[in-house]
Structure formats: structure tokens, C-alpha cells
Amino acid sequence: MAFFAVQPILFTDFASPNKFLSLSGLQVLVVDDNTDTRTLIGLILEEFSAQVRTVTSARDALEVLAQWQVDVLISDIAMPRENGCLLIRCIRMQEDKRVSQIPAIAITAWMTEHGRAIAFESGFDMYIEKPIDPEGLAVAIAQLVGRK
């Protein structure tokens, strides 16, 4: 008979955030229909000191954008009803420059050259594949807002 010791992994230890990289003061809106993904990205960004709001749909994202100053948008591409590409097109057409010029990152589980081209043509500034690398996401955000 074999015995195994199982050591639990604390959920908050997943990121091992770079202590020199801070997203403090940044307000980030995360749009994803998947609860686990939204929660994970929110926790990652909070580890890097960002203020985060999460929503489940493009429609909810537009409502938040009307009420909250967002510094960076992170959106899944493949969502039911209005997908991430439709969301970013709608954002880029807004008259309010604080909304229309928000730096935006597309996230997806299916990274292809065609998908990447569509994301950029739609108005996303960056394209990141799932699963999300915590430090890579923080660095991407810092680059988008000129912090690194």
C-alpha cells in the first residue's frame, strides 16, 4: 500500500507577482462570460494592485463604461450574443474619447493568425491566449498604459 502526502496550493499564491511591477491606480474592466476566467483575471490584477470590475457581457461592459473611468479593457472574444469584437467596435465608435481610446486586450482560448487579425481589425491593441500568464498579463497592461 502506498501513501501520498497532498500539499494544498493556496489560490492566492498562483501569481507570485513581480514585486516591482504595480498596476496601482489603474482601473481595469474585465469582460468574460466564464465565471472562473473573470474571477481569475480579477484576482491576478488585484495582486498587482489594480482596481478591477468584472462583467459577463458586452452590454454590461458598455453600462460600466458610461459610469466608470476605465484605463484598460480586457475582453474575451468568444462570448454569446455580442462577442468581444463587436464590443470593441462599439467602443471605438463612441464620441467620448475617454471611452473610444481605451487600451484594449483581447483574450481567447483559440489563438490563430486569422483570429488575431480579426481582433486587431476590430480595434484591440493586444491579443493574449488563455490560459493567462499572470505576470505576462500585468506586463502587457503596463506596456499599454506606458508604465514599462
pLDDT of residue 110: 76
- Which sequence spans correspond to the domains of the chain? 24-144
Burial (CB count <10 Å: 0-12, 13-18, 19+), residue 6 = exposed
Instruction: Tell me which residue has cell 462577442.
Output: 83
15 Cα distance to chain centroid: 15
The per-residue pLDDT for 145 is: 94
Q: What is the per-residue pLDDT for 141?
A: 97
Q: What is the pLDDT of residues 20-77, one digit of tens each?
A: 789 999 999 999 999 999 999 999 999 999 999 999 999 999 999 999 999 999 999 9
Tell me the per-residue pLDDT of 76-132, one tens digit each, with 9 for 90 and over: 999 988 999 999 999 999 999 999 999 999 998 877 888 889 999 999 999 999 889
- Name the nearest CA neighbour of 116 among 105, 127, 108, 125: 127
Tell me the pLDDT of the chain averaged across its residues.
87
Domain spanning 24-144 has what CATH number?
Answer: 3.40.50.2300
Q: Which residues contact 19 (CB under 8 A, 6 or more apart)?
A: none
Torsion angle defined by CA atoms of residues 130, 36, 51 and 29, in that order, rounded to the nearest 10 degrees: 60
- Predicted TM-score (pTM) of the model is 0.85
From CA 65, how far away is CA 49, in angstroms rounded?
20
pLDDT at position 111: 72
- Predicted confidence at residue 65, as pLDDT, reads 97
